[in-house]
Amino acid sequence: MELKLDLSREYGLVLEGGGAKGAYQIGAWKALREAGVRIKGIAGVSVGSLNGALICMDDLERAEKIWKNIEYSQVMAVNDETIKALRERDFKSLNLQDLISSGFQILKDGGFDITPLRNLIEEVVGDEDKIRNSDRELYTVTYSVSDRKELAEDIRTGEAGTIKDMLLASAYFLAFKNEKLGGKRYMDGGGVNNVPINVLLEHGYEDIIVIRIYGLGLDKERVTEIPEGIRVYHIAPRQDLGGILEFDKKKTRKNMTLGYYDAKRFLYGLYGRIYYIDAPNTEPYYFDKMMSELEFFKIYMQDTLNEEGMAALTGYRAFTEKLFPRLAEEFKLKEGWDYKDMYLGLLEDLAKRLKVRRFQIYTVDELLREIRKKFRSLEKAGSLLPDNKK
């Protein structure tokens, strides 16, 4: 595989707010780190600020440990079993009287008690000097309710003892009990600027990687004018990462893995919407390859066409003029798709239906080999190819 990013340059990272979705950012950073991408600074908001602190310290081990083991009770003063029962609608296991009392107390307090989040930030930061002495800038975005203005500052340069407070200030979600920090009240920065690319632009960054997680808040990137000569890259999920308060370690582990492979897709120009496919050749190569394997793909087509339709599949034109346009709609290929897109779409659809392992980088031949292996297993078991619509 050929790396598509210039490693001789230094990059700024933009880390969006999005609560529990933030695990994705750590997975993406791991892939960037492995590839040798040099990070000059970070602009983060809410969970992006907390992850930014870990990146600033270059502490991948701690970051992975935190996200692999995260629970609701590490962010809010709640009972993990109660939250789990509510999510699964297991009302029989709940003490409704206690639940109602807790709900009234939360309302009375003005939100969830986030003492656990304070403790988590304490764990993340530890010794402030690790951040202050970092050669990476760390801009955190928050909104000062007291001063009625957005704040975006390199927190390494603030007064001693203020880093933890500013990280908490950036993450003050509306559902949280809001307490004064340093005599002032703050609000989650995502409400005013959830994708703070403008912060890095204002500080002279020319190469910027934006890691999207699609959290709640104002997407300022949409209205930010990118000056000529500035290079902006995006790493973004193609599936839902779950809720912003879904602090479930099974979910966050999957999101971290997804972030890692999505970053690999970006770094190495991998193809695939679901899988990660190294496909460097041009359209004619894949067209010839697809047509040479039609006997195998006809197995797939049997549940797409009736017998009459199958009988009509003779000659290239029957495929190119009738079948492939129909499959393109089914695969939801982009307008202007080509035969490379079609071939990879066929492979991905078959791989998904046969439950081929997703999180791995495949060459086209490797993926086809895994598909054939799975199919042979089905044949031996006397099973049919799984329904295309499932």
As a whole number of angstroms, the longest Cα–Cα distance in the chain is 78
Residue 229: which of 211, 252, 205 has the closest Cα?
A: 205
User: Per the residue annotation, which of 49, 165, 170, 188 is the catalytic one?
Assistant: 188
Specify whether 262 is catalytic. Answer: no
Helices 339-353 and 294-301, axial angle in degrees (round to 10): 60
Which amino acid is present at 215? G
d(CA 126, CA 368): 48
Active site residue 46: yes
66 touches 124 (CB < 8 A): yes
Identified catalytic residue from 46, 170, 248, 278: 46
Active site positions, annotated: 46, 188
